[in-house]
Structure 1
Amino acid sequence: MLSTRFTEAFGIEHPIVQGGMMWVGRAELAAAVSEAGGLGMITALTQPTPADLVQEIERARSLTDKPFGVNLTILPSINPPPYDEYRRAIVDAGVTIVETAGSSPEPHMEMFRDHGIKVIHKCTSVRHALKAERVGVTAVSIDGFECAGHPGEDDVPGLVLIPATADRLSIPFIASGGFGDGRGLAAALVLGADGINMGSRFMCTVESPVAQAVKERIVEATELDTNLIFRSLRNTARVAKNAVSDEVVEILANGGEFADVRELVAGARGRTVFEQGDLDAGIWTVGLVQGLIHDIPTVDELVRRIVEEAERVLQVKTLLTV
């Protein structure tokens, strides 16, 4: 058993966390990860209203009695959702673990702390991790440049970012971006992390609530099949390479502004990809780790083999150093 500061702090068996993913982090996936011994996450803003979020939390509880959390990502938006209402719904539903991402968690910490909620803050740099530690989070999820979604603007990959974080952070932290097998988990632990966070790998499982065509595309794709969009806008996002993201890259490279691509990157179009399997309906997020994904297992099978492989790798490392 790979016991770490993170597993002890959050009461889970394995140091593996399912990242909060828009349109993907639903009850069935979160519960499956928790049942397998990891930490599943429901994505709050996937639910159209705070009341719907409460129902989704209850649905997860009907599927597992093990710990799971809720992701609350706070990003700049033309029409921002009612974040305070979602936060209140999380508290009122009795959730005990929250993953925050995007903006600083500081405005939310008092309420979460007052209700005994442990916070994991996802960030992309050591400086942001240290700030999260100062405002009182229980743990940090440090996100390397390999990740899906928003990798920040520093472009620091995990091989450097993880040990750099370990050198300066006192609280437990997990590594995000590029993880999909036991070798990655073993590497993260050796580099100083207390576990790993996986998004794309869990998206490509039987229990993942996305269209089969999306999962099959991830299996077919390589580490070369992503695009970085919004680079010129200083809001970089890593997404799947398709006709839409190619067009967005071209428009912005030729001097376009956000207004010129707004309709192309609309969230509703990305949701269509996941729900209907039309891979060119919009942009959708996936990480470089898709180059290491070759099948669509159940969550339980995936977690079990990752842990077993990590234990084998770490045992070999130990024998080599004796």
Structure 2
Amino acid sequence: MLRTRFTERFGVEHPIVQGGMMWVGRAELVAAVANAGGLGFITALTQPTPDDLRREIERTRELTDKPFGVNVTILPSINPPPYEEYMKAIIESGVKIVETAGSNPEPFLPYYKDAGIKVLHKCTSVRHALKAERIGVDGVSIDGFECAGHPGEDDVPGLVLIPAAAKALEIPIIASGGIGDARGLVAALALGADGVNMGTRFMCTQESPVHQKVKEQIVAQGERDTQLIFRTMNNTARVADNEISRKVVEIEKAGGVFEDVRDLVAGARGRRVFEDGDLNAGIWTAGQVQGLIDDIPTCDELISRMVSEAEGLITDRLASFVR
């Protein structure tokens, strides 16, 4: 069993996290991760209303008695969601772990702390992680450039970012981006992390609530099959390579602005990919770790395999180098 500062502080069996993913972080997946000894997060804004989030939390509790959390991503918006109401739903539902991402979570921290909730904040740079530590979060999940979704604008890969964060921070660190198996877990621990976060890898499991065609596409694609969109808008996002993401990149290269791609990148179109299996309906997030994924296991199979193989790597292969 791999025990780290993260497993001790957050009360989970294994140092493996399934972070929030839009349209993906639902009860079936979160409970499966929890039952396998990892930490799964419901994605709050996948639920249309705070009351829907309350119901999803209860549905998760019907499927597991293990710890799980809720992700709340705060982003600038013309019509922002009622974040305070989502927070209230989390607190009143008795959830004890929250993953925050996007904007500074400081305005919400006193309420979470008063409710005895531990906060894991997701960030993409050491400077942002240090700020999160100063305002009082309990741990950070730090995303390297390889990750799906928003890797920030610094383009620092995990091999540099993780040890840089470990050197600067006192709180537990979760490594995210490019991790999909035991080798990534052991490497992250060696670099100074206390655990790993996986998105694309968990999206490609049997319990993941996305269409089978999406999972099969992840298995088929390699590490080069992603696109970086919104680069010219200083809001970089790594998504799967498809007709739509290539078109967005072409429009950007030609000098286009967000209004020129708004329809192409609409969230409703991306949701159709996951629900209908139309791989070119819209953009959908996927990381470079696709190149390391070659099966669609259950969450229990995936986590058990990672932990047992990690223990073997540490006690056998790495130990053999020491004379």
- 1:178: how far off? 0.5
Aligned to 1:74: 74
The answer for unaligned runs of 5 or more in structure 1 is none
| 1:36-82 C-alpha deviation (Å, 9 max, x unpaired) | 00001100000000000000000000000000000000111222111
Deviations 1:171-227 (A, max 9, x none): 001100001000000000000000000000000000000000000000000001100
The CA distance in 2 between the partners of 1:318 and 1:251, in whole Å, is: 51
Give the CA deviation at 1:321. 2.0
Tell me what 1:86 maps to: 86
2:322 corresponds in structure 1 to 321
Look up the SS of the partner of 2:63 in the other structure. Answer: coil
Aligned-pair distance for 1:308?
A: 1.0
User: Letter of the aligned partner of 1:3 in structure 2?
Assistant: R
Measured after TM superposition, the shift of residue 238 of structure 1 is: 0.2
Give 1:23's aligned residue: 23
Aligned to 2:111, the other structure's residue is in SS state helix
**Structure 1 counterpart of 2:263, which letter?**
E
**Which structure 1 residue ranges, 4+ long, deviate > 2 Å from structure 2?**
none
Provide the C-alpha distance between the structure 2 equivalents of 1:296 and 1:302, rounded to a whole number of angstroms.
9
AA paired with 2:281? A
**1:62 partner SS:** helix
CA distance in 1: counterparts of 2:279 and 2:299, whole angstroms:
23
Separation of aligned partners in 2, 1:243 and 1:109: 41
Give the equivalent residue in structure 2 for 1:240.
Answer: 240
Question: Residue 163 of structure 2 aligns to a residue in which SS?
Answer: helix
After superposition, where does 1:141-180 map in structure 2 within 5 Å? 141-180=141-180
Match of 1:139 in 2: 139
**2 CA distance for matches of 1:321 and 1:174?**
27
1:204 paired to 2:204: yes
Q: 1:191 is matched with which residue? A: 191
Paired residues, number: 322
1:225 aligned partner? 225
- Aligned-partner Cα distance in 1 for 2:71–2:176: 15
Is 1:293 aligned to 2:293, yes or no? yes
Partner secondary structure for residue 67 of structure 1: coil
Q: Which runs of 5+ in 2 are unaligned?
A: none
| Superposed displacement of residue 317, structure 1 | 1.2
1:270 maps to which residue?
270
The Cα RMSD (Å) is 0.6
Q: What is the percent sequence identity of the aligned residues?
A: 73
Please state whether the residue corresponding to 1:171 is helix, strand or coil: coil
1:121 aligns with 121
* Distance in 1 between residues matched to 2:139 and 2:320, nearest whole Å: 31
For 1:292, give the aligned amino acid.
L
Report the counterpart of residue 111 of structure 1 in structure 2: 111
Q: Show CA shifts across 1:216-256 (max 9, x none).
A: 00000000110000000000000001000111000011100
CA distance in 1, matches of 2:278, 2:76: 27
Q: Distance in 1 between matches of 2:149 and 2:92?
A: 29
Please give the TM-score of this superposition, normalised by the length of structure 2: 0.99
